Amino acid sequence: MAKRKTEGEKRAEWAAKEDRVWERFAEKVAAARNLKEAAAVLGDSPPEGAPGRRFYSNLSFFLLHSACDVPNNSNERERGTYLGLLERMDQAGDLKPGARETIVAKFRAAKPGSLL
């Protein structure tokens, strides 16, 4: 008979799955050169409740729903990924003049190392 997993084992498995999703997600976002390519990443979003879904939800919030505001439940590594994307979007002409500086200031004001 198979041994039932403890809550700790289940959490560890979930975290490992999230890490794998994060790696693929971060690679896709890093490859995006503009808003259109970044929005296309959202098409690969896992279903609701699946590991890593929050990364895609945060990207959707960042790109489509908040004019590049800091997602409330993002962590530092996500924010760094979004700042890199923001720079590429600015270089591609996807942002209004001066918008990048305003957005970067919002990210700097977010508490480092914590969820907002």
Q: What is the model's pLDDT at position 99?
A: 93
Query: Above 60 in pLDDT, residue 91?
Result: yes
| 10-34 per-residue burial string, b: 16 or more CB within 10 A, e: under 16 | eeeeeeeebeebbeebbebbeebeb
Q: What is the model's pLDDT at position 51?
A: 96
Q: What is the model's pLDDT at position 109?
A: 87
| CA Rg value for the chain | 16
Higher pLDDT, 62 or 115: 62
Query: Above 70 in pLDDT, residue 111?
Result: no
Q: What is the model's pLDDT at position 1?
A: 62
Which residue has 């890093």 as its token pair? 30
Residue 64 is encoded by which pair of tokens?
Answer: 């489509």
Query: Above 90 in pLDDT, residue 72?
Result: no
Question: Mean pLDDT over residues 86-91, rounded?
Answer: 96
Q: Is 55 exposed, middle or buried (0-12, 13-18, 19+ CB in 10 A)?
A: buried
**Model-level pTM?**
0.86
**9-17: long-range contacts at Cβ-Cβ below 8 A with a sequence spacing of 24 or more?**
14/51, 17/51, 17/52
